[in-house]
Amino acid sequence: MLFHSVRSSIIQCIFTILLCCSFTVTASSESKAEATQAVNQVLDGLHQAASQADLDKYLGSFTQTGVFMGTDDWERWTRPTTLDKYVAERFAGGTGWTYKSVERHVNFSEQQNIAWFDEITVSQKWGRFRGTGVLIKDNDQWKIAHYAMSVLVPNEAWEKVAEINIKTFAERQK
């Protein structure tokens, strides 16, 4: 009788622990899904703001010390100085730039307060690009701390692109 009672108590404890663990796993999965959705909204909002030349929304997507790395070697735009000035000048005429994300992968730190991503974006005018970056969650809001954009070059075209690249950088050195 005592053995049956102890065994029953142990089984109840194990069941309770497993039940609690399953709620924790479910809650974490939901939190990650919600965080992914929030990060996607920030990045999609950034691209939308750029296409609409919406200065406040565009810059508001970044942290106060955010960095945008362009495709040229000298393009390192920092907030609140060079990025704010560059974007304000570009948007002043009511025209921005349009890139549409066609693929995106988002990952999170264990605490889910830092996210990093990579995405492929497409511009009708300029072709395919890869954006990579880091977002930080601050005061329950995701902000872009770093965004780097690079031109995608098919391997079959790389040799020709490399020749142009080497020649152009050499000419700059003169």
Range of 99's domain? 2-173
**Mean pLDDT on 104-125:** 97
Calpha distance 124→98 (Å, rounded)? 8
| pLDDT of 24 | 46
CATH number, domain with residue 154: 3.10.450.50
Mean pLDDT, the chain, whole residue set: 89
| pLDDT of 31 | 86
| pLDDT of 45 | 99
**Mean pLDDT on 94-123:** 97
| Sign of the four-CA dihedral 77, 82, 83, 85 | negative
With contact defined as beta carbons under 8 Å apart, do 61 and 143 qualify? yes
Bridge partners, residue 136, by sequence: 114, 143
Whole-model pTM? Answer: 0.81
- Provide the 8-state DSSP code for 72: S
- Side chain identity at 153, as an amino acid letter? V
How is residue 169 written in tokens?
């950088």
The structural domain count of the chain equals 1
